[in-house]
Amino acid sequence: MKIPGPFTAEQEQYLKELRTQNRAQLRSLFGKLNPPDIRTFVGEYDAELLNQGGRTAQKITQFIFGLRGPWTGKAFKPTDATRGVGYNCFLYGEDFVEKLPMHTRIDDSQLDSGKSMFIDYRDLNHGIIRWLVGELREVTPTVILGIGAFGPKWGSRDGWRRKIPFVMIGPRRPYSISLTKVWVSQPDKARSAA
């Protein structure tokens, strides 16, 4: 699913560039960027998958990302200077639905020697989603490049994990604060609800 407009001129320019880059170019760009400031990274961001390395890989990744409904993005809220919480956004008709809660943190990248903002599903979910970890870096404050890594974490840094590049634009909507208390203070209840 493509991110809908409207866009600022800067967002439109970067989105157009990111949509035309291959996986190697996206990975190279990612290595030159810095993580967003988690303290000011608040709200719902619209997202789309970028080049997955071929038509078959693109279709499989889109299918997997759509298993819980039409995936439209992610939302973020800091809990302190280096950590936060969030959720994924799905669109049902005209309603945005929050699913797949996550923790966020600033940490050393698993992709290179820099720092990234991590997205981690392990403590708040069950099932195969626990194998997904994402890293975010800032193209601009409103254009975020992400690389998800999916699969068991074995061996070297890259191991057997499939890399999933995506872009986010935002924030587009406010964060839904009604869910934060459950995820921060009662992760077991959030896990059973997800």
Closest CA to 14 of 136, 137, 144: 144
User: What's the pLDDT at 160?
Assistant: 52
Phi, psi of 93 (to 5 degrees): 65, -115
Q: Are 76 and 87 within 8 A, CB to CB?
A: no
As given in the structure block, the two tokens for residue 84 are 């936060």
Closest CA to 168 of 1, 3, 57: 3
Sign of the dihedral through C-alpha 68, 88, 113, 30: positive
Rounded CA-CA distance 83/94 in Å is 31
pTM exceeds 0.85 for this model: no
**Residue corresponding to tokens 């970890």:** 133
As given in the structure block, the two tokens for residue 49 are 């998958």
Query: What is the number of other CB atoms lying within 10 angstroms of the CB of residue 184?
Result: 17
Mean pLDDT by 10 residues, the chain (194 residues): 92 97 95 96 94 75 64 93 92 80 94 93 82 92 92 53 89 76 41 36
DSSP letter for 36, please. -
As given in the structure block, the two tokens for residue 62 are 């889109």
Q: Are 41 and 78 within 8 A, CB to CB?
A: yes
User: What's the pLDDT at 186?
Assistant: 40
User: What's the pLDDT at 190?
Assistant: 38
- Write the CA distances from 116 to 53, 56, 148, integer angstroms: 23, 29, 12
User: What's the pLDDT at 187?
Assistant: 41
User: What's the pLDDT at 129?
Assistant: 77
